[in-house]
Amino acid sequence: MGRRSALWDLGELWRAPDARPVMAVAATCFACWLFLVYCVSASRSLVLTGAAWLTVFAMFSLASALISIVIRARQPSATYSFGLARAPVLAVFTSTVLAQLSSIFLIKESIERLLEGNEHSHNHSLFIPGTIAASVAQLLAAYAVRNEPFNHVLTAASSSWLQVRKILLTTNSASAMIE
C-alpha cells in the first residue's frame, strides 16, 4: 500500500498546476548535476565538487517545495489531526543537516589534498561549463520557484532579527557620537 500511496502522490503532484514549474526546475537541476558530476570526475576539482554538492541541496530545496505542495492539498484525518504540516519543516531540517555534513566532507577532502603536497594545475576545459551549469541550477532553484518552507525559515530565522538589531544599535551609537 505504501507504493500505491507514493504513486498516487506522484500522479497528484503531476496534476497540480503549482508543481509543474517546480518539477521542470528540478529536472533542469538534475541535468546540471549530472554534468557537474562528469566535470568533477574529469577534473578532480574541489571547487566543482562543492558546486555539485550545492546543486544537490538545491534539489533538496525543490523536493521540500514539492512536499509542501502535496501536503497543502491534503486534508487532516483522524490519524493526523493537524495534517502533515510538520513534513516540510522536517524536509528543511534534513536538507540543512545534510548540507552541514557535506561541508565537513569537503573540509576533510581539502585538508587531505593540502597534506598530499602534490602540485596540480587547474587548466581543464570543463571549469567554465561546470561553473555555468552550477550557476544555472542555483539561480533556477533560488529564484524560479516559490518555496514556502525555505521562505518561512528565512523570514522566521532569529539571525534576521539580530541583523535588524545590529543595524539599529549601529545607527543609535552613530547618532550618539554625532551629538
Predicted structure pTM score = 0.69
Q: Pick from 159, 136, 2, 168: which is nearest to 58 by CA?
A: 136
- Cα 98 to the chain's mean position, in Å? 10
Confidence (pLDDT) at 162: 44
Number of domains the chain contains: 1
Domain range for 112: 2-149
Asked if the structure places residue 160 within a domain, the reply is no
Greater confidence, 178 or 106?
106
Q: Look at residue 169 and tell me if it is in a domain.
A: no
Residue 117 and residue 97: Cα distance in Å, rounded?
Answer: 31
Alpha-carbon distance 107 to 163, whole Å? 28
Q: Residue 63 falls within a domain, yes or no?
A: yes
Q: Model confidence over 49-95: pLDDT tens digits? A: 889 988 998 888 888 888 777 777 667 677 766 666 677 777 778 87
Is residue 157 included in any domain, yes or no?
Answer: no
Residue 90 lies in a domain: yes
For residue 46, what pLDDT is reported? 83
Task: Let me know if residue 51 belongs to a domain.
Answer: yes
Would 132 be classed as within a structural domain? yes
Residue 89 lies in a domain: yes
119: three-class secondary structure by DSSP: coil
